[in-house]
Chain A
């Protein structure tokens, strides 16, 4: 038996080595190693590829390569024209203010852009798209902006490159362009039944107008795009772009370390994982880009204790956010003192700062009528033990670590913090939307360059009466703040609007309906040999916003 076993061993080794020597069998990564391809790994798979019908960020990331917007934000968060000749302004006269708070904007569309089937992209497509999305039977997710528009016209049929947009109210961000879809591809299906548009082929194999066109979408595996040769300015330098869906962030991390993906976006990485990637593979660059994601803890202002501003302020004084940022995020993620991030035009850097001060916290709590019990935990005037419950998304390691640190720090000021987490679908589906958290709820809002604070309006408090519709989860009511928001929503003068936003933040920081924690970074990675990558950190402007400029350097 030993002799026969030894023979089998020799046979196995010979087979293994021979397989490796066969010249016809390529190494699995050879396709990627060809410099005409870039592979981008994502921890999400898009749900569809029509942005107005889809909810997932993954779809928007792929669409950044396939569609050229009229106007877009670049990596400096500046608005730049892309498919239009210029951005309309009041000063230049192509943004006109009309009586009764109406407006008219005129865009000149740049000729030269074509759909991937060769047909020209014109203002007629944009005008048709508006009508299609506005139709209540279309599966449009949000008509927030569409409702502010009365009409989109192409006044001169002989000039299909001029678009006129008629607004029925003042809106300061009216010059940020509009969604454009190919009328000639979708109109027939739209006429037959708008409600079935979610199943139209444009969702899965869209005809776009951007630097890349779709070749295939293998569900569960990848999407392959190829450079569009008729893109104005020339075809993209890298011929092929492959988006691979690797849902587990640990496995995605392994793929990036092993070099089996060239870049990542929407990767669910933590900062620790990013540091590990750079350490294990020095050929990978980790990008830590400021973003508009605001991590915070909402306070339930209906609670008897949290109604008192002094208690809310005491909570913020009691938490050492600088220490959390240093320990948990290696000092890379800035502490938030307000709800608008630093790069937002309306950010107020002069708001009151709540530095870690447990003595001040105790003083405020004493002022509010709390006295310590024999166990060191405070009692209110009725003798009730001060126990607060914090809830967040279960399984989110960093949020759970924040909770643990908070528990220790709040204990020092006499507050017993209980932790009670839920799966994300339950947390967002019920706990926050229906305000079912008793005291504290930790999560993040993704703001945008055009955020004006609407979510803090008292009309946005979800209640049974309004079917729990609205985003003012703490339930904050402030008449002055409401007035400022109403004004900011329609203030066209940027300087005035910024003043309004800054005053909103002053009030907010004093009242503290939420505890501001951090401004999260947008974490992306890319091989150093891949040049031209400029992450923007904006929701809607993903790593591929300028992918037609990417190229492989000669050095690896």
Chain B
């Protein structure tokens, strides 16, 4: 296992290095550098000013030199640079946003996984029942809905329309139409409730796709397992159904799900970019979106590499988890 981990670590470094070259090149050669966009918006800006700004931001340096400066600062000095847009250290910007993204991802992932597995198991154990068909329909609907569209529909339904909110006891079921907090809310319990209240809609949107796909996978995996001989034996031994399902069937049914869940994380990250943009959730996804559009290269590079590292890390975790739960899998 140690040799496996070492090999994967070396591969990760090589992949990240290659990705950094590719991403940096794409960002720089993408048409529309920030000074050109500035000049396009202001008829009074003069050639001398444009020249000065290009020198200030180092935009006229050759590509390899710009990459070298970035690489030296990042790798050897740990300096991610300054955001050209916000004038703040990239490290601080990312740190602030990362917390928000982790909150959203954890909530979405947790709810999607728990509900997806429960619903999938229930569906498998009640195959061809009305509830199974209902769950199947909703699962396919969840898989088919684009994140962006779903987010806007949820906002219209639960934040703008929300007729049930006319009933005082259900007023809290009218959710905020975006943002992470209500500015000016008093501290303590009110702040916690406010943050949770803002978290609900983006969590549901981001978690829907995962919940739907994991429910389907869990259902088919469970259906395969419950037909196995050892499950029949467990029942024949007189075990309660609860023990048969939890101890014998579920554990084996969840093995393939571990890999799928780990491999789905990058997909959730992609969804986070769209979800955060629509809900104005100040996370890494929104930061990346703004940085790429605004040609803020320092921020874009840091965010892109972060997402790449996360994707690679979860792939490695999936492999390790697989080896842990399945004794037949061994790495060297």
Contact = CB atoms under 8 A, between A and B. Distances in A.
Interface in A396-446: 423-430, 432-433, 445-446
B85 A25 contact: no
A144 B46 contact: yes
Contact of B197 (A24, A28, A224, A424): A28
Contacts of B283: 220
Contacts of A31: 182-185
Contact of B278 (A25, A240, A251, A428): A251
Interface stretch (B36-44, B248-256, B312-320): B36-44
A459 to B, nearest CB: 10
Nearest to A460: B43
Interface stretch (B3-11, B49-57, B69-77, B204-212): B49-57
Given A141-B38, A144-B44, A426 B189 contact: no
Interface string A364-376: 0000000000000
Interface string A117-151: 00000000000000000001001111110010000
Contacts of B281: 220
Given A20-B172, A258-B177, A45 B290 contact: yes
A254 B40 contact: no
Given A141-B38, A203-B87, A251 B155 contact: yes
A295 B239 CA distance: 77
Interface string B166-194: 00111111011111111111100110011
B266 interface: no
Contact of B279 (A26, A204, A242, A251): A251
B287 interface: yes
25 contacts: A20-B169, A24-B190, A26-B194, A31-B184, A139-B56, A144-B46, A199-B88, A200-B87, A203-B86, A219-B86, A220-B281, A220-B286, A224-B183, A247-B286, A250-B152, A251-B278, A255-B178, A257-B160, A424-B32, A426-B30, A426-B32, A428-B40, A429-B37, A429-B40, A469-B47
Interface in A240-265: 240, 242, 244-248, 250-251, 254-255, 257-258, 260
Given A31-B183, A198-B82, 4 more contacts: A31-B182, A221-B282, A247-B277, A446-B41
A258 B152 contact: no
Nearest to A467: B47
Given A220-B286, A260-B177, A19 B172 contact: yes
Contacts of B41: 55, 428, 446
Interface in B74-101: 82, 85-89, 93, 96-97, 100
A248 B47 CA distance: 34
A260 B159 contact: yes
Contacts of A27: 171-172
A25 B110 CA distance: 25
B33 interface: yes
A32 interface: yes
Contact of A425 (B30, B47, B49, B88): B30
Contacts of B45: 141-142, 144
A28 B198 CA distance: 9
A17 interface: yes
A247 B182 CA distance: 17
A470 interface: yes
Chain B interface size band reads 35 or more
A185 to B, nearest CB: 15
A50 B186 CA distance: 31
Interface in B241-295: 277-283, 286-287, 290, 293-295
Given A20-B173, A28-B197, A199-B88, A471 B183 contact: no
B185 to A, nearest CB: 5
Nearest to A427: B32
A47 B86 contact: yes
Nearest to B54: A467
Contacts of A247: 277, 280, 286, 290
A28 B158 CA distance: 14
B31 interface: yes
- Chain B contact surface mostly: helix
Interface centre among A31, A246, A425, A432 (most CB of B within 10 A): A425
Interface of A: 16-17, 19-21, 24-32, 34, 37, 39, 45, 47-48, 53, 55, 136, 139-144, 147, 195, 198-200, 203-204, 218-222, 224, 240, 242, 244-248, 250-251, 254-255, 257-258, 260, 280, 423-430, 432-433, 445-448, 451, 454-455, 466-467, 469-471
B290 A25 contact: no
Contact of B178 (A16, A198, A251, A469): A251
B321 interface: no
Contact of A219 (B56, B97, B169, B173): B97
Nearest to B50: A469
B332 interface: no
Given A25-B193, A260-B159, A220 B53 contact: no
Contacts of A246: 178-179, 280
What 10 pairs across the A-B complex have the smallest Cβ distances?
Answer: A220-B282, A429-B32, A425-B32, A469-B47, A428-B40, A20-B169, A31-B184, A429-B36, A426-B31, A430-B31
B179 A221 contact: yes
Interface string B16-29: 00000000000000
Contacts of B190: 24-26
Given A143-B48, A199-B88, A39 B179 contact: no
B53 to A, nearest CB: 7
B184 A37 contact: yes
B156 interface: yes
Contact of B36 (A198, A199, A251, A433): A433
B170 to A, nearest CB: 5
Contacts of A141: 38, 42, 45, 49, 53
Contact of A204 (B53, B86, B159): B86
B160 A222 contact: no
Contacts of A470: 47
A109 B168 CA distance: 55
Contacts of A258: 159-160, 177
A433 B39 contact: yes
B315 to A, nearest CB: 29
A428 B32 CA distance: 7
Contacts of A430: 31-32, 36
A28 B194 contact: yes
Nearest to B292: A425
A472 B220 CA distance: 65
